[in-house]
Chains A and B, each alone.
Chain A
Amino acid sequence: MSTTILTTQDLSRAFGGVLAVNLVNLEVRDKMVQSVIGPNGAGKTTLINVITGRLAASGGKVLYLEKDITSRAVHHRVKMGISRTFQITSIFMGLSVWENVRIAVQSHLGGSLRILSARPSLGSVNDKTEAILKRVGLYKLAERPANLLAHGDQRVLEVAISLASDPKVLFLDEPAAGMSPAETDQVSELIADLGTEMAVVLVEHDMEVVMKISHHIIVLHQGGVIARGTPREIASNQEVKDAYLGGDDWAPLSNV
Chain B
Amino acid sequence: MSNMEQAAPRSLIFERLGGGKAMWITTAVMVVILAVLPFILPNRFYIRLVNEIMIYGLLAMSLDVLLGYTGLLSFMHNAYLGLGAYATGLFMIHIWPESIWVAMLVGTVFTMAVALPVGWVQVRTGGLAFALLTLAFGMMFYTVAWKWYDLTGGDDGLMGLPQPDITLFGLKLASSGNSTAIYLFTLAILLICFVFTWRVIHSPLGAVLEAIRENEERASFVGINVRRYKLIGWMLACGLAGTAGSIYILYRGYTGPGVMGAFEGAGVLMMVLLGGMGTLWGPFIGAALFIVLKDQLSSWTQDWEIFIGAIVILLVLFLPKGVAGVPALFNRQSGGED
Interface residues of A (CB under 8 A from B): 52, 54, 73-75, 78-79, 83-84, 90-95, 99, 102-104, 106-108, 111-120, 122, 161-162, 164-165
Q: How many A-B residue pairs have CB under 8 A?
A: 101
In the complex, B156 has a CB within 8 A of chain A: no
Give 7 new A-B contacts, CB below 8 A, not counting A92-B215, A112-B207, A161-B218.
Answer: A84-B221, A91-B218, A94-B214, A106-B207, A107-B223, A115-B205, A120-B15
Q: Determine if A90 and B202 form an interchain contact, defined as CB atoms under 8 angstroms apart.
A: no
Q: Which residues of A contact B217 (CB under 8 A)?
A: 54, 90
Q: Determine if A93 and B214 form an interchain contact, defined as CB atoms under 8 angstroms apart.
A: yes
Interface residues on chain B, size class:
20 to 34
A95: which of B17, B199, B214 is its contact (CB, 8 Å)? B214
Q: Determine if B223 and A75 form an interchain contact, defined as CB atoms under 8 angstroms apart.
A: yes
In the complex, B175 has a CB within 8 A of chain A: no
Considering the chains assembled together, what is the distance between the CA atoms of A83 and B222 in angstroms?
A: 8
Give the 9 A-B CB pairs with smallest separation, nearest first. Answer: A78-B223, A104-B222, A92-B214, A74-B220, A107-B223, A90-B218, A115-B203, A103-B211, A115-B200
Task: Mark contacts of B208-227 with chain A using CB atoms, 8 A cut-off: 1 yes-contact digit, 0 otherwise.
Answer: 10110111011111111110
Q: Determine if A93 and B215 form an interchain contact, defined as CB atoms under 8 angstroms apart.
A: yes
In the complex, B336 has a CB within 8 A of chain A: no
Q: Which residues of A contact B202 (CB under 8 A)?
A: 118-119
Q: Which residues of A contact B220 (CB under 8 A)?
A: 73-75, 78
Listed residue (A52, A108, A112, A165) with the most chain B CB atoms within 10 angstroms of its CB: A112
Given the interface contacts A119-B18, A164-B222, A165-B222, does A92 sit within 8 Å of B211 by beta carbon? yes
Listed residue (B210, B215, B217) with the most chain A CB atoms within 10 angstroms of its CB: B215
- By beta carbon, the residue of chain A nearest B210 is A95
Q: Which residues of A contact B224 (CB under 8 A)?
A: 75, 107, 112
Q: Determine if A113 and B214 form an interchain contact, defined as CB atoms under 8 angstroms apart.
A: no
Q: Which residues of B contact A54 (CB under 8 A)?
A: 217
Listed residue (A115, A119, A165) with the most chain B CB atoms within 10 angstroms of its CB: A115
| Nearest chain B CB to A112 CB, angstrom units | 5
| Nearest chain B CB to A216 CB, angstrom units | 25
Q: Which residues of B contact A115 (CB under 8 A)?
A: 199-200, 203-205
Considering the chains assembled together, what is the distance between the CA atoms of A197 and B37 in angstroms?
A: 65
Q: Which residues of A contact B208 (CB under 8 A)?
A: 103, 106-107, 112
Listed residue (A74, A102, A107) with the most chain B CB atoms within 10 angstroms of its CB: A107
Considering the chains assembled together, what is the distance between the CA atoms of A73 and B223 in angstroms?
A: 10
| Nearest chain A CB to B104 CB, angstrom units | 21
- By beta carbon, the residue of chain B nearest A122 is B204
- By beta carbon, the residue of chain A nearest B218 is A90
Q: Determine if B203 and A75 form an interchain contact, defined as CB atoms under 8 angstroms apart.
A: no
Q: Determine if B18 and A118 form an interchain contact, defined as CB atoms under 8 angstroms apart.
A: yes
In the complex, B16 has a CB within 8 A of chain A: yes
Q: Which residues of A contact B211 (CB under 8 A)?
A: 92, 95, 103, 107
Q: Which residues of A contact B18 (CB under 8 A)?
A: 118-119
30 example contacts (A-B, Cβ-Cβ < 8 A) are as follows A73-B220, A73-B225, A74-B220, A74-B221, A75-B224, A78-B220, A78-B223, A91-B215, A92-B210, A92-B219, A93-B215, A94-B214, A99-B207, A103-B207, A104-B222, A104-B223, A107-B224, A111-B204, A112-B207, A114-B205, A115-B203, A116-B199, A117-B204, A118-B15, A118-B16, A118-B18, A118-B202, A118-B203, A161-B218, A162-B222
Considering the chains assembled together, what is the distance between the CA atoms of A148 and B129 in angstroms?
A: 31
| Nearest chain B CB to A200 CB, angstrom units | 16
Q: Which residues of A contact B214 (CB under 8 A)?
A: 92-95
